Amino acid sequence: MNWYDLARGLHILAVIAWMAGLLFLPRLYAYDAEQAGKPEPLRTEMRTLLRTWQRRLLKIILNPAMGLAWVFGLWLIHLDVQMRGAAFLAEPWMVAKLLGVVALSGWHGFLSAEFRRIEAGTSKKSSRFWRMTNEIPFLIAIVMVISVTTEWTFG
Ligand code: HEM
């Protein structure tokens, strides 16, 4: 068995779970924000349910999936450096990939912080905000995946 092929398979699985969570969580935040105009006790009941789903998605799927995507990604870097040296880390496609990693990790951190604000009742974000930003992680993922599969460069 080849360790590199195992590492990339595990990396892709972790990334699938991470992306699924990043795409679904803001949708739950949008539904939560939309409860503002609903009558009681429906509003509180809906928010209790939505926040249970938000918490579980963050703790059971998103946080472990991000951790594993990082672990297997760093393992891939280690194996890559052994096979072809460290120069690929400075190639445009890899720089784009790593910038994407930073952007997605930052977005993940922001969603985590927002969960704490939503629970505390201090979040200022509207349903419209969550619906408008929802596609951003997927656009970043397109750039990242095409970068690693094509290893594009300038000229
Ligand atoms: C979390 C930090 C991450 C690190 C450190 C990392 C690092 C890496 C490395 C070093 C490779 C091997 C590149 C090569 O030589 O071909 C790789 C492959 C790949 N990564 Fe990541 N990555 C991360 C996150 C992600 C994310 C978020 C996505 C998708 C949105 C992604 C998608 C892929 C894909 C599709 C491959 C190609 C696997 C293959 O060889 O078939 N990675 N990653």
Distance CA 45, CA 43 (A): 6
**Quick one: average pLDDT of 71-93?**
97
pLDDT at 116: 98
Amino acid at 72: F
Question: Domain span at residue 18?
Answer: 3-150
pLDDT higher than 80, residue 104: yes
pLDDT at 139: 98
CA-nearest residue, atom 40 of ligand 1: 8
Please list, in sequence order, all residues whose beta carbon lies within 8 angstroms of the beta carbon of residue 109, skipping any fewer than 6 positions away.
none
Residue 140, judged by CB atoms within 10 A of its CB (0-12, 13-18, 19+), counts as buried
pLDDT confidence tier of residue 83, bands split at 50, 70 and 90: very high
| Distance from residue 20's CA to the centre of ligand 1 (Å) | 16
List pLDDT tens digits, range 93-102.
Answer: 999 999 999 9
Tokens read off for 34:
């939309």
Q: Residue 87 falls within a domain, yes or no?
A: yes
Domain count, the chain: 1
What atom in ligand 1 is closest to the CA of residue 151? 16
- Which letter does DSSP use for residue 86 in this model? S
| Distance from residue 101's CA to the centre of ligand 1 (Å) | 9
Whether ligand 1 lies within 6 angstroms of the CB of 119 is answered as: no
The answer to whether 151 touches 104, Cβ cutoff 8 Å, is no
Q: Residue 155 falls within a domain, yes or no?
A: no
Q: Residue 132 falls within a domain, yes or no?
A: yes
Q: Return the percentage of the chain with pLDDT > 90, whole number.
A: 98
List pLDDT tens digits, range 111-145.
Answer: 999 999 999 999 999 999 999 999 999 999 999 99
Q: Angle at the Cα of 129 (from 127 to 130), degrees rounded to 5?
A: 65
pLDDT at 155: 78
Q: Residue 123 falls within a domain, yes or no?
A: yes
Ligand 1 pocket test, candidate residues 89, 99, 148, most atoms within 8 A of CB: 148
pLDDT confidence tier of residue 70, bands split at 50, 70 and 90: very high
Residue 112, judged by CB atoms within 10 A of its CB (0-12, 13-18, 19+), counts as middle
| Distance from residue 2's CA to the centre of ligand 1 (Å) | 17
| H helix runs in 57-135, sequence order | 63-84, 92-120, 127-133
Tokens read off for 54:
């938000």
pLDDT at 64: 98
Mean pLDDT of the chain: 97
| Distance from residue 87's CA to the centre of ligand 1 (Å) | 16
